[in-house]
Amino acid sequence: MKLTDETAVIPELIRRHLDIFMCPVCGGRLKVPDDHSTMECAACKRVFACDQGIPLLFWPTGRSSKADVTDLVKAFYEETPFPGYDDLDSPESLRAKAENGVFARLLSGQIAHGSKVLECGCGTGQLSNFLGLTWGRSVFATDLCVNSLRLGHAFEEQHGLENVCFVQMNLFRPVFRPEVFDFVICNGVLHHTADPFAGFQALLPSLKKGGFVVVGLYNRYGRLTTDIRRLIFRVAGDRLTSLDPRLRTETLNDARRRAWFRDQYKHPHESKHTFGEVLRWFDQSSVEFVNSIPKCVASESFSPGERLFEPNPRGTAVDRAIVQAAMLLTGGREGGFFTMIGRKRA
């Protein structure tokens, strides 16, 4: 069947991998009708619309509205999608930006050919689009914020990245079948949810046994300097933004500056976590610790040639306390962020 506007329909990558999708409400099989305009559940018959190539598979978490922060967080990011794309107008500029941060370069270089990758809470999808610049993998970028997804999808479409697609999804209501992904990445997201541990557990069913989960979170100690700056801004107003090292030193345009400032200092909901806490999450969820940034052992440092997915020691409580104290002392340029990598046990 000839379709008039290929950009407005369910993307080809999704149609090709339809067997990995499920209904966020009942877990039934999803179908795409002949005109490719929607996704429909074969079991409960719900129809999910498609917004210019983005299937809208979001479904509410289902907590009492008091405990849940999903709507609040969604409204926040719909107003200011994060991070901004403004000065990224080509695959080359995206690659240059991503490779500036060692982690994204290592990640992309170490994801095996043929892998299926899920990013939960992709925001504007810069990491997913960067990963999609490498041929031979399939990247599924999901977030609850449609305005963010639109920016990611526009970049992907404009530059013909055929192995990346964007889907609206609440990570607490996954739309993917069990054990389909080799990598699940959730960077800077769980600390903006009402129940980060439950969010972590919700990432795992769609990960294959032996697959890797990558989780980035705010650190309780590393984030203290940001907390202090937030207090200062509250008392003194927003004039002293140069106290933030990123706002002070980087040549960010106004939109990116605003997105960073709001995300760091005006967020309606964030929590902070420790290495020990995430190791407990791993232990309780049959996930084996593999690696972290920074390293869990104080005497070891993260190298530019790091093998991300090779096992590392988890350190002692004292080791991890020293590492977190060092994060505090170095001032948390990235907002006191740490990343943990685990492997789902067979």
Ligand X SMILES: C[S@@+](CC[C@H](N)C(=O)[O-])C[C@H]1O[C@@H](n2cnc3c(N)ncnc32)[C@H](O)[C@@H]1O
> Which residues would be at the binding site for ligand X (CB under 6 A)?
70, 73, 77, 82-83, 120-123, 143-145, 148, 170-172, 187-189, 192-193, 263
Q: What does each C-alpha distance from 91 to 6, 153, 194 come to in angstroms?
A: 22, 13, 35
Nearer to ligand X by C-beta: 72 or 297?
72
Nearer to ligand X by C-beta: 172 or 275?
172
Q: Considering the complex, what minimum distance in angstroms separates the CB of residue 279 from ligand X? A: 22
Q: Considering the complex, what minimum distance in angstroms separates the CB of residue 233 from ligand X? A: 18
The DSSP result for 110-171, as a single string, is HSPTT-EEEEES-TT-HHHHHHTTSTT-EEEEEES-HHHHHHHHHHHHHTT-TTEEEEE--T
Q: Considering the complex, what minimum distance in angstroms separates the CB of residue 231 from ligand X? A: 21
- CA pair distance 73, 75, nearest whole angstrom: 5
Using only C-alpha atoms, the chain has a radius of gyration, in whole angstroms, of: 20
Q: Considering the complex, what minimum distance in angstroms separates the CB of residue 318 from ligand X? A: 30
Q: How far apart are the first and last CA of the chain?
A: 43
Select from 181, 175, 187 the least CA-distant residue to 114.
181
Nearer to ligand X by C-beta: 205 or 276?
205
Nearer to ligand X by C-beta: 192 or 223?
192
Nearer to ligand X by C-beta: 143 or 319?
143
- Residues 140, 176 contacting (CB under 8 angstroms): yes
Residue nearest to ligand X (CB): 123
Nearer to ligand X by C-beta: 102 or 322?
102
Nearer to ligand X by C-beta: 50 or 141?
141
Cα dihedral across residues 187, 22, 111, 146: positive or negative:
negative
Q: Per 3-state DSSP, what percentage of the chain is helix, strand, and coil (rounded to 5)?
A: 35, 20, 45
Q: Considering the complex, what minimum distance in angstroms separates the CB of residue 200 from ligand X? A: 12
- CA pair distance 311, 291, nearest whole angstrom: 6
What DSSP character marks residue 317? H
Q: Considering the complex, what minimum distance in angstroms separates the CB of residue 157 from ligand X? A: 19
- Residues 342, 282 contacting (CB under 8 angstroms): yes
Q: Considering the complex, what minimum distance in angstroms separates the CB of residue 156 from ligand X? A: 15
Nearer to ligand X by C-beta: 77 or 221?
77
Q: Considering the complex, what minimum distance in angstroms separates the CB of residue 31 from ligand X? A: 24
Select from 294, 276, 281, 291 the least CA-distant residue to 222.
294
- CA pair distance 97, 159, nearest whole angstrom: 16
